[in-house]
Structure 1
Amino acid sequence: MLHLNNSTVFELSKEPEHWEPFMVEGNEIGKVSWLRQTQNEKGILAAGLWKHHPDEHPNGMPYKTAGNETFYVLSGEAEVETVGGNIIALKEGHSYSFTNGFAGTWKTKKSFVKFFIVS
């Protein structure tokens, strides 16, 4: 983080020392490198890189958005099965946006890295 006059510039790194376990309800679901995390009376803003490997949760894992999540798939493949049984294929080079409260089952098919923003 860099402070310039009355502004702050945040920096994201994919270097190994910048990754940490991504925890949801006490369970590690991949690794994250944070660009920014803010929560206040106006809402939340979280952005960063997230990575996950197929052998971490071979049978899939619950996926529920806490806020609106938009992401770009930098590498890999995954799929999300909706509560209604529809399959959403997540492919490298594509962007996706899920609204607040979306729920399904996430299954990583090929080592996956995404740049995400949650608001």
Structure 2
Amino acid sequence: MQSFDLEAQGLRALNSTLNAQSTETNQTVWEVTNPKGSHAIAVGLDAPIEVNVKGSTGYYCGGMNKQATIHVHGSAGPGTGENMMSGKIIIEGDASQYLGATAHGGLIVVKGNASSRCG
């Protein structure tokens, strides 16, 4: 498992690293620590990788997802999974409004409560 500390390395470095993964990658499982409500975590992924976010996320986590499985071990902010095409997003906590807005495929699971205008 690859580990990425957002506090030490930053969001741009995380998303660049995750987006560089191809469908043939051997680095298929990633752990993101210290998200601290950061916006746009794991956006635009297009590879069959798994991203485990150890904490809550801000706006647009997993937006434009294709193929990836994103597991949020906390709550998720507005617009999570927006414009998702495929893949999965699993949220252990609560989800804010417009979860999965404009999504065309994939699966979003919220184990807590979901706010208004979801789906």
Higher-Rg member (1/2): 1
Question: Larger % of strand: which?
Answer: 1
Question: Larger % of helix: which?
Answer: 2
> Which one scores higher on RCO, CA 8 angstroms, separation ≥ 6?
1
TM-score (norm: length of structure 2): 0.29
